[in-house]
Chains A and B, each alone.
Chain A
Amino acid sequence: MGALNAHLVPAVDGVAYGLLLYVAAAGLTLLFGIGGVLNIAHGTLFALGGYLAATVSDGSWSSALLGLAVAVVGGTLGGAVLAVGTAPLVERGELPQALLTFGLALVGGDILSTVYGGDEHPVVVPHAVNGTVHFFGHVYPTYRLMFIVIAAVLAVAGTLVLGRTRVGALLRATADDRAMVGAMGYAPWRVHAALCAAAGALAGLAGGLGAPIIGPGPDTADKVLMLSMVVIVLGGPGSVLGAFVAAVAVGEIETLGVSISSDWAPYLLFGMMAAALIVRALRGGLGGVGIAMPGKARA
Chain B
Amino acid sequence: MSAPTSPVTPSGSADPSVETEPVMPTVRASQTARTILSSPRLRVGAPATAAAVLLLIAPSTFDGYGIGLLSKALALGVLAVSVVVLAGFAGLPSVGQAAPFMVGAYTAGIMGQHGHGIGVVQLVCGAGAAAGFAAVTGLVVIRTRELAFLMTTLAVGELAVAVAGQWHSLTGGTDGMYGIPPVRPVPGTALLDSDKSVYWYVLAATVVVVAVAWRVLRSPVGKLLLACRDHEARMRSAGHPVTLYQWLAYVAAGALAGFGGVLMCTVNEYVSPADGSFANSALVLLAVVLGGATSPLGALLGAGLIVATRDWLSGPFPGHGPLLLGLMFIIAVYALPNGVAGVKVRLPRRPGGSA
Q: Any chain B CB within 8 A of the CB of A153? A: no
* C-alpha spacing A73/B334, complex, angstroms: 27
Q: Any chain B CB within 8 A of the CB of A133? A: no
* C-alpha spacing A31/B135, complex, angstroms: 31
Known: A93-B146, A229-B154, A278-B140. 14 other contacts (CB 8 A): A32-B151, A36-B147, A38-B147, A38-B154, A40-B278, A94-B146, A95-B340, A99-B332, A100-B330, A103-B333, A106-B325, A269-B162, A273-B155, A287-B351
* Beta-carbon contact of A237 and B340 below 8 Å: no
Q: Any chain A CB within 8 A of the CB of B42? A: no
* Beta-carbon contact of B147 and A32 below 8 Å: yes
Q: What secondary structure prevails in chain A residues at the interface with B?
A: helix
* Beta-carbon contact of A96 and B325 below 8 Å: no
Which residues of B lie under 8 Å from residue A94 when comparing CB positions? 146-147, 150, 344-345
In the assembled complex, the CB of B321 is this many whole angstroms from the nearest CB of chain A, namely 9
Q: Which residue of B lies closest to A96 (CB)?
A: B340
Q: What secondary structure prevails in chain B residues at the interface with A?
A: helix
The interface-forming segment of B190-198, B281-289, B299-307 is B281-289
- Tell me the residues in window 63-97 of chain A with beta carbons closer than 8 Å to chain B beta carbons: 85, 88-89, 92-96
Q: Mark A262-299, 1 if CB is under 8 A from B, else 0.
A: 00001101100110011001001011110000000000
* Beta-carbon contact of A266 and B282 below 8 Å: no
* Beta-carbon contact of A237 and B333 below 8 Å: no
In the assembled complex, the CB of A272 is this many whole angstroms from the nearest CB of chain B, namely 11
* Beta-carbon contact of A99 and B329 below 8 Å: yes
* Beta-carbon contact of B329 and A103 below 8 Å: yes
Q: Which residue of A lies closest to B143 (CB)?
A: A281
Q: Which residue of B lies closest to A89 (CB)?
A: B333
* Beta-carbon contact of B341 and A92 below 8 Å: yes
In the assembled complex, the CB of B280 is this many whole angstroms from the nearest CB of chain A, namely 12
* C-alpha spacing A284/B152, complex, angstroms: 13
Q: Any chain B CB within 8 A of the CB of A120? A: no
Q: Mark B137-171, 1 if CB is under 8 A from A, else 0.
A: 00111011111101110111011001101100000
* Beta-carbon contact of B148 and A237 below 8 Å: yes
* Beta-carbon contact of B344 and A277 below 8 Å: no
* Beta-carbon contact of A110 and B329 below 8 Å: no
* C-alpha spacing A140/B34, complex, angstroms: 78
* Beta-carbon contact of A110 and B143 below 8 Å: no
* Beta-carbon contact of A99 and B333 below 8 Å: yes
Q: Any chain B CB within 8 A of the CB of A213? A: no
* Beta-carbon contact of A266 and B159 below 8 Å: no
Which residues of A lie under 8 Å from residue B340 when comparing CB positions? 92, 95-96, 99
26 pairs, A vs B, C-beta closer than 8 Å: A32-B147, A92-B344, A93-B345, A94-B344, A95-B344, A96-B333, A99-B332, A100-B329, A103-B333, A106-B329, A107-B330, A109-B326, A111-B323, A114-B320, A226-B158, A229-B151, A266-B166, A277-B152, A277-B156, A281-B152, A284-B351, A284-B355, A286-B144, A287-B144, A287-B148, A287-B355
- Tell me the residues in window 248-272 of chain A with beta carbons closer than 8 Å to chain B beta carbons: 266-267, 269-270
Highest count of chain B CB atoms <10 Å: which of A32, A267, A270: A270
Q: Which residue of A lies closest to B321 (CB)?
A: A110
Q: Could you tell me how many residues of chain B have their Cβ less than 8 Å away from some Cβ of chain A?
A: 50
* C-alpha spacing A36/B151, complex, angstroms: 11
Which residues of A lie under 8 Å from residue B329 when comparing CB positions? 99-100, 102-103, 106
Which residues of B lie under 8 Å from residue A25 when comparing CB positions? none
Which residues of A lie under 8 Å from residue B344 when comparing CB positions? 92-96
* C-alpha spacing A267/B155, complex, angstroms: 14
- Tell me the residues in window 37-60 of chain A with beta carbons closer than 8 Å to chain B beta carbons: 38, 40
Which residues of B lie under 8 Å from residue A98 when comparing CB positions? 95, 150
With A93-B344, A277-B156 known as contacts, the answer to whether A99 contacts B326 (CB < 8 A) is no
* Beta-carbon contact of A103 and B159 below 8 Å: no
* Beta-carbon contact of A287 and B350 below 8 Å: yes
* C-alpha spacing A287/B344, complex, angstroms: 17
* C-alpha spacing A36/B149, complex, angstroms: 12
* C-alpha spacing A288/B351, complex, angstroms: 8
- Tell me the residues in window 101-144 of chain A with beta carbons closer than 8 Å to chain B beta carbons: 102-111, 113-114
* Beta-carbon contact of B158 and A229 below 8 Å: yes
* C-alpha spacing A38/B143, complex, angstroms: 19
Q: Any chain B CB within 8 A of the CB of A233? A: yes
Which residues of A lie under 8 Å from residue B325 when comparing CB positions? 103, 106
Which residues of B lie under 8 Å from residue A85 when comparing CB positions? 330
Q: Which residue of B lies closest to A287 (CB)?
A: B351
Q: Any chain A CB within 8 A of the CB of B4? A: no
Q: Which residue of B lies closest to A289 (CB)?
A: B147
- Tell me the residues in window 72-93 of chain B with beta carbons closer than 8 Å to chain A beta carbons: 93
* C-alpha spacing A109/B156, complex, angstroms: 24
Nearest first, the 6 A-B pairs at minimum CB distance are A103-B329, A106-B326, A107-B326, A110-B323, A93-B344, A103-B330
Which residues of A lie under 8 Å from residue B95 when comparing CB positions? 98
* C-alpha spacing A99/B83, complex, angstroms: 14
In the assembled complex, the CB of A43 is this many whole angstroms from the nearest CB of chain B, namely 11
* C-alpha spacing A269/B165, complex, angstroms: 14
* Beta-carbon contact of B159 and A289 below 8 Å: no
Which residue in B143, B155, B326, B345 is a CB contact (below 8 Å) of A95?
Answer: B345
Q: Which residue of A lies closest to B93 (CB)?
A: A95
Q: Which residue of A lies closest to B323 (CB)?
A: A110
Q: Mark B308-325, 1 if CB is under 8 A from A, else 0.
A: 000000000001101101
* Beta-carbon contact of B328 and A103 below 8 Å: yes
* C-alpha spacing A265/B75, complex, angstroms: 34
* C-alpha spacing A109/B355, complex, angstroms: 38
With A38-B147, A94-B146, A94-B345 known as contacts, the answer to whether A107 contacts B327 (CB < 8 A) is yes
Which residues of A lie under 8 Å from residue B225 when comparing CB positions? none
- Tell me the residues in window 52-98 of chain B with beta carbons closer than 8 Å to chain A beta carbons: 93, 95
Q: Which residue of B lies closest to A263 (CB)?
A: B166
Which residues of B lie under 8 Å from residue A93 when comparing CB positions? 146, 344-345
Which residues of B lie under 8 Å from residue A286 when comparing CB positions? 143-144, 148, 151-152
